[in-house]
């Protein structure tokens, strides 16, 4: 079908977004009654934003980044350090989280953007480990393994009114608002000409280069952008936790966001990462309450997805609801998975 | 002045010399054929011409401007489009979107992050028009990977045409096609002849001798013979080799 201005990809706000936001807006009213707790809602939203940002690289660009936790963590530290050393203003500190993580991403992008596939994956791991080590060892700046403590949930000052975000419910709604705006921006991004070029580069760097696209610059820019938004989510996470810890920057935590995104179906759907985060965090709490080995089960699920169901949960949902064939979703997921690890240098 | 002027292009990979010394001039509007045995360096020459490979020596001028060693996206932006021997398309995109992404207008908005690509009908309409010219009018919505082999070859040409190129470089456009497919492609390329400059590597002698204004024979990394098709048939070198046999 010719995408028309009436199709979802051309919309600023889609019906799916509206439904999602409405459902999310009711969460504080019932979450405690189903045996969960409001803080979980905050965690889900922040990780969803992080996973969506991560999927710009993994799903949209087809580049395997396995050290993305670094940028999430850098955002968290940047938020805290800005608060302590520059100015205790929410907007400035969030902007700092975005900018510093974006800069770190841009720096790494300089070294990896001529690669793709397994080489790219290894380099992102290596750089991720470097940032993690720096965070652990720079006691004076980051607090080392103890973390950067006493980060405050700064009030949200809108000029006409200022909101105290210290309580979990108020903070939840603040994060939901930010999440909503970010979703609109990211949806636009992936459906913009820029997003289509990125998707084209994923399929053939050679073809894109001979159409006149500076492949390196596009790959570097999407990585930096993804790092920046991840860092922004990290800034929110520092507020949520009232601290910043090096743990989120570690290799295994970077692996979590990969697992969430793939299980959710980020390779075939914009919403895949969000679904994955919901499943992961709820499984952590629900199955985790029954057994310490919950990760064993999620890990098995992950293996099953990679081997047999590359379309992930989102693919299955799309097949059921949008009358798309599950087989074509599976093929699409399989192709995306192959593109992630196929090929080294593009020329 | 010739549109393409190649002089003394030498390429070596390590200690292996692939192109000894290529000299070639193509005037604007000419259909220039390249032939030669496998491994002669034809594709490597294309790769040099379109910026994939940097020559170790020699120079390439395009419309009087030195483009030697420029990267492929810069050369493409100057109006050099190419197809590949092994087809290279955006397989997951529809045929229409393959053409759309190649439009110079789309490229100019490549860093536009805040408008919807689908919001601009102009791109889709322009792409559809180009699909009509290559006989893919009703295949616009088909994913590139679901197209037949012959249709994919036609789509490659559509993508290249969408770039609005001054030079079209075709690397064995008939490879893998049956006789009907070759006929269809010959008709399509024949219609383009004279409208833009075409450089084509081709093994199908009938195809090349019927369409080309001038043919260069590449062997051992250099141009060993050059001339109009009827001249080449008299050429001693071509006669001695089996290349002219079909002509």
The pLDDT score that the predictor gives to residue A345 is: 36
Residue A339 falls inside a structural domain = no
- Tell which of A207, A325, A331, A346 to mutate to test the B interface (max B CBs under 10 Å): A207
Residues whose CB falls within 8 Å of the CB of residue A81, separated by 6 or more in sequence, listed in order:
A96, A141, A148
**Dihedral sign, CA of A56, A61, A67, A70?**
negative
pLDDT tens for A87-128 read 999 999 999 999 999 999 999 999 999 999 999 999 999 999
Residue B28 falls inside a structural domain = no
Q: Do A206 and B84 touch (CB under 8 A)?
A: yes
The pLDDT score that the predictor gives to residue A1 is: 41
Residue B126 falls inside a structural domain = yes
Which secondary structure element, helix H or strand E, spans residue A163, and what is its range? strand A162-163
Q: Do A206 and B88 touch (CB under 8 A)?
A: yes
Residue A288 falls inside a structural domain = no
**Which residues span the domain enclosing A166?**
13-256
Domain count, chain B: 1
Residues whose CB falls within 8 Å of the CB of residue B163, separated by 6 or more in sequence, listed in order:
A211, A212, B76, B79, B81, B102, B103, B104
Residue B205 falls inside a structural domain = no
Residue B52 falls inside a structural domain = no
Domain count, chain A: 1
**pLDDT tens by residue, chain B, 247 residues:** 799 999 999 999 988 999 999 999 999 999 999 998 888 899 999 999 999 999 999 999 999 999 999 999 999 999 999 999 888 999 999 999 999 999 999 999 999 998 998 878 899 999 999 999 999 999 999 999 999 999 999 999 999 999 999 999 999 999 889 889 999 999 999 999 989 999 999 988 889 989 999 999 999 899 999 999 888 877 777 776 655 454 4
* Degrees, nearest 5: CA angle B34-B35-B40: 105
Using a CB-CB cut-off of 8 Å, the residues of chain A touching B104 are 212
Residue A299 falls inside a structural domain = no
Residue B202 falls inside a structural domain = no
Residue A2 falls inside a structural domain = no
Residue with tokens 């997921």: A333
- Tell which of B71, B74, B92 to mutate to test the A interface (max A CBs under 10 Å): B92
Q: Could you write out the DSSP letters of every residue in A288-340?
A: HHH-TTHHHHHHHHHHHHHHH-TTHHHHHHHHHHS---HHHHHHHHHHHHHHH
Give every residue of chain A whose pLDDT is below 50, as ranges.
1-3, 5, 343-347
Residue B197 falls inside a structural domain = no
**Which residues span the domain enclosing B148?**
90-110+118-164
Residue B218 falls inside a structural domain = no
Q: Which residues of B touch A (CB under 8 A)?
A: 50, 52, 71-74, 76-77, 81-82, 84, 88-93, 96-97, 100-102, 104, 106-107, 109-119, 121, 124, 128, 140-141, 159, 163
Q: Could you write out the DSSP letters of every residue in A124-160?
A: HHHHHHHHHHHHHH-HHHH-GGG-B-------EE-SS
Residue B191 falls inside a structural domain = no
Residue A125 falls inside a structural domain = yes
Nearest residue to B82 (alpha-carbon basis) of A195, A61, A204? A204
The pTM score is 0.94
């Amino acid at each position: 079908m010719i995408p028309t201005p009436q199709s979802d990809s051309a919309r600023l706000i889609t019906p799916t977004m509206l439904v999602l936001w409405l459902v999310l807006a009711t969460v504080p009213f019932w979450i405690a009654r189903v045996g969960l707790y409001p803080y979980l809602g905050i965690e889900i939203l922040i990780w969803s934003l992080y996973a969506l940002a991560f999927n710009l690289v993994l799903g949209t660009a087809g580049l395997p980044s396995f050290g993305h936790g670094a940028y999430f963590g850098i955002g968290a530290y940047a938020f805290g350090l800005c608060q302590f050393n520059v100015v205790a203003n929410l907007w400035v500190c969030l902007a700092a989280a975005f900018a510093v993580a974006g800069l770190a991403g841009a720096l790494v992008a300089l070294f990896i953007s001529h690669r793709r596939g397994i080489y790219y994956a290894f380099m992102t791991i290596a750089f991720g480990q470097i940032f993690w080590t720096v965070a652990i060892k720079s006691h004076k700046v980051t607090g080392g393994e103890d973390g950067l403590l006493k980060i405050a949930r700064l009030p949200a000052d809108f000029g006409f009114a200022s909101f105290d975000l210290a309580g979990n419910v108020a903070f939840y709604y603040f994060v939901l608002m930010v999440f909503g705006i970010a979703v609109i921006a990211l949806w636009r991004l992936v459906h913009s000409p820029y997003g289509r070029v990125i998707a084209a580069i994923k399929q053939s760097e050679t073809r894109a280069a001979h159409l006149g696209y500076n492949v390196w610059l596009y790959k570097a820019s999407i990585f930096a952008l993804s790092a920046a938004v991840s860092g922004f989510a990290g800034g929110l996470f520092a507020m949520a936790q009232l601290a910043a810890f090096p743990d989120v920057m570690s290799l295994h935590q970077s692996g979590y966001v990969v697992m969430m995104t793939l299980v959710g179906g980020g390779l075939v759907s914009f919403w895949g990462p969000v679904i994955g985060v919901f499943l992961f965090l709820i499984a952590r709490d629900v199955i985790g309450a029954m057994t310490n080995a919950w990760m064993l089960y999620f890990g098995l699920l992950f293996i099953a997805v990679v081997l047999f169901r590359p379309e992930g949960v989102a693919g299955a949902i799309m097949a059921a609801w949008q009358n798309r064939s599950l087989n074509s979703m599976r093929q699409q997921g399989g192709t995306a998975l192959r593109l992630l690890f196929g090929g080294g240098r593009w020329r | 002045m010739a549109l393409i002027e190649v002089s003394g292009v030498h390429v070596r990979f390590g200690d292996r010399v692939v192109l000894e010394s290529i000299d070639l001039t193509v005037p604007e509007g000419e259909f220039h054929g390249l032939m030669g045995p496998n491994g002669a360096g034809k594709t490597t020459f294309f790769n040099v011409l379109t910026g994939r490979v940097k020559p170790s020596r020699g120079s390439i001028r395009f419309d009087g401007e030195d483009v030697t060693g420029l990267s492929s996206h810069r050369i493409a932006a100057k109006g050099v489009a190419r197809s590949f021997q092994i087809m290279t398309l955006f397989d997951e995109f529809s045929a229409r979107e393959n053409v759309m992404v190649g439009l110079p207008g789309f490229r100019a908005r490549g860093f536009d992050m805040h408008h919807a690509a689908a919001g601009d009908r102009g791109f889709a309409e322009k792409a559809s028009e180009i699909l009509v010219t290559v006989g893919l009018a009703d295949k616009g919505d088909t994913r590139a990977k679901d197209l037949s082999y012959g249709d994919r070859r036609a789509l490659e040409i559509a993508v290249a045409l969408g770039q609005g190129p001054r030079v079209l470089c075709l690397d064995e456009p008939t490879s893998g096609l049956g006789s009907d497919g070759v006929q269809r492609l010959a008709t399509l390329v024949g219609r383009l002849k004279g409208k833009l400059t075409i450089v084509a590597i081709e093994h199908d002698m009938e195809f090349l001798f019927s369409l080309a204004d001038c043919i260069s024979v590449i062997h051992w990394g250099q141009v060993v013979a050059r001339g109009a098709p009827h001249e080449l048939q008299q050429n001693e070198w071509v006669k001695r080799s089996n290349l002219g046999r079909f002509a």
